[in-house]
Structure 1
């Protein structure tokens, strides 16, 4: 079936025409890449480096959020009561400990568990170097953390004043005997913590945050000996477990109402659901700390660097194929066709460079996590975000690179 010059092609014919043009553009873009494969490999390596840089910055940024909630994730509670002067979990300030019976009397509250957190000085037992270390004091009858290591026997050992557990993620400069990590070899070691002897009776696995490179777990009585300025009248956090069937938001509302009804300093405490507390902790580390802002800026810088690399690659490619593009313009191919061809080419470059960049990022994540002791993981969010940024980066660079070609007349390009 044919169409006369004045007759519009049918829908099926028009669709076939569009498919042919798409194949032509793809074939031309692929021919440009495969014709000079050495240049193409170099281009893929350059764009892959930019993609890898984005993955690394996002990985570091993600580790900030992951480590921010390492303690909160192990707290089996529904509502958190904390000081209005709370800064972060290792600098929680203080609230009154006598709030516990008042809050326990609320029908919706099943249990109120105290937790002391502070940072003090640890002296390396090997070389006597001082280090800042986080200390967490728990009620041994109602532990604030869900840890398999807190067996009845271990809690009995922690009843002895000065007995502590050390986090096996504590860094090597705190002095483990094997020089790698704290373990069974260190049980029985006596170290000085703020000038007070502390005996290691075991280890636990929780993970340290960016605010502390090491952590100890002990009874509240030992905590008061190891951390200056602490007393039995004050506590860092109150962890509230609600009765079955009570929603976290309703429980938080009831606790806040009881605190507001109390007169004087007792009412000076804030309440959050555990989910909101985690979100607030992550948000603070992302937006209010230098380390979070540095990594966020690093992501933006990686996109800019990647855009510059992509532009240099595509501009060089346009220059190398200038005569071919000029021939196409002389044959009557419009500017839209040339733009779509170059965008197809830039999309192909980003698509080919993406998989090896993911593999390289996974390898570097594993190496960095092992060496730095900070968890860095690949997430679906990072994969989608970097894929989108890579396509935008390469296509934006392609549009900038083709400006000269768009403005030029075919005769001037030969």
Structure 2
């Protein structure tokens, strides 16, 4: 399910990257959402469902360590390869030389170190490559990897989960549903809605250390969806997996997309549909999981792949041709990311620092002490 949602984001980005306009769902839904944002919402719900199991099962230190291993190695490698391999190739494509690429203030070093800063321009381009593409009419988005906007919100949700687990509140049945209801009330009341014409990344919010600038609107929407997934995991035994409820959820989702109310009604309907579908997937789908979890690789690679393909003129193949190229290259890079970076990093999940291990060994060797 996560892999399908990640590829849905790639499909959605074909329109703004290749032609400078949102995907068709944006206008069909009355500017409530598009395919990419809906997929991100679904991803947060599944993430809440899965991550909660880890938080309940593991200690707080081990939980944080697992999250770091799952997110950071793939992200760091992606950023480095984009800044030091992809962008130099594209710069040379544009100028026929690498002279002037490495020493610019907005060069590769600046991109890697400033991404995630609260500055609105930090990490968006490398040595003017995308800007040059915009001047040439091949590109329409100024960011090398605009998909990373959601990562800081996911990290925020991880921190919330860690806090709930550390304080013991995650195991109290009423706490997470109460928090979810509070977020739902914020969304239903419109308290976090953005004024007309204000972009999602530019609304009122707060700047936090490491995470950078966050908007109240996105924090409320994605936090609500994440908490829905968390609540579903904690109360899974009480939630029926019923085809009739799935049909009702599908009708509610379609109605809210078309006539309004996607936030308070459509989002919960979407979450139920995704979890119902995950429970009802045929057994052969599990073969995909046995190959590897490519969803994160698709997420971190899709946007720069599409930007690069647009810059070299692949939009001339039309939407289907551009999409086929994007999905193929992104899929290959996602597989490489999993097998060469992410999976090897995840093998360190059981690692324990050497000094504490020695201390534990000495303790177990004492007379009268058993493991």
TM-score bucket (shorter structure): under 0.3
Task: Name the structure where strand makes up a greater proportion of residues.
Answer: 1
Task: Name the structure where helix makes up a greater proportion of residues.
Answer: 2
Q: Scaled by the length of structure 1, what TM-score is found?
A: 0.22
Q: Scaled by the length of structure 2, what TM-score is found?
A: 0.24
**Bigger Rg over Cα:** 1
